[in-house]
Amino acid sequence: MNRRLYFLIPDRVHALAVVEDLAKHGIDTKHMHAVGDRRTRLDGLPSATKRQRNDSCGRIEKILWNTNFACFSLALIALLVLPIFIGMHWWLLLPISIMAANFLVGLKFINTPNTHLGEFRDALAHGEILLMVDVPETRLAEVEQEIHHHHPEATVGGVGWGTQAFGL
């Protein structure tokens, strides 16, 4: 799975230079997405889809996390309440299994990077440009170092999980 690097760039000229430099280092422009305030000029920069501008990854993550929490809570309630009314039976392993599975999934999500577009709203409102770059996990440090070294004006804003599915 790819990871999405977020770079805050002060203006369009610098953003174009960063995109050009990344392209020289083998990152296809279809894996780059520029987002800005509606007043910010983004012409010449790789455009973001509507889903990317609306931070669909953040919404999906929130839905998955809340669903996981709800399933865990319902299984816990079932584990505590059902023995009172029905007694102890082997089928009580079902809520325990659900709770264990949700706990393990939750541990996995805790260790997944989760930077989202909402964290940059203030900077975007001030005219900065957010460049999202999707790279394989193995190239994260290389790309981050390259941008930091050649473009000190670009601030690394974080890392999130990214996917090409559905234009996210």
Beta-bridge partner residues of 130: 8, 35
Report the pLDDT value the prediction gives residue 148, as an integer from 0 to 100. Answer: 86
CA neighbor of 30 nearest in space, from 8, 10, 52, 14? 52
Report the pLDDT value the prediction gives residue 86, as an integer from 0 to 100. Answer: 74
Is the distance from CB of 79 to CB of 96 less than 8 angstroms?
A: yes
Report the pLDDT value the prediction gives residue 20, as an integer from 0 to 100. Answer: 92
In the chain, how long is the greatest CA-to-CA distance?
70
pTM above 0.85, yes or no: no
Q: Examine the domain organization and report whether 46 and 25 are in the same domain.
A: yes
What are the residue ranges in the chain where pLDDT is below 70? 1, 56-57, 88, 90-91, 111-114, 116, 158-168
**3-class secondary structure, 4:** strand
Domain count, the chain: 2
Q: Domain containing 66: what range?
A: 57-110
Q: Examine the domain organization and report whether 6 and 39 are in the same domain.
A: yes
Q: Examine the domain organization and report whether 62 and 106 are in the same domain.
A: yes
Q: Examine the domain organization and report whether 77 and 148 are in the same domain.
A: no
Q: Return d(Cα 144, Cα 126) in angstroms, integer.
A: 24
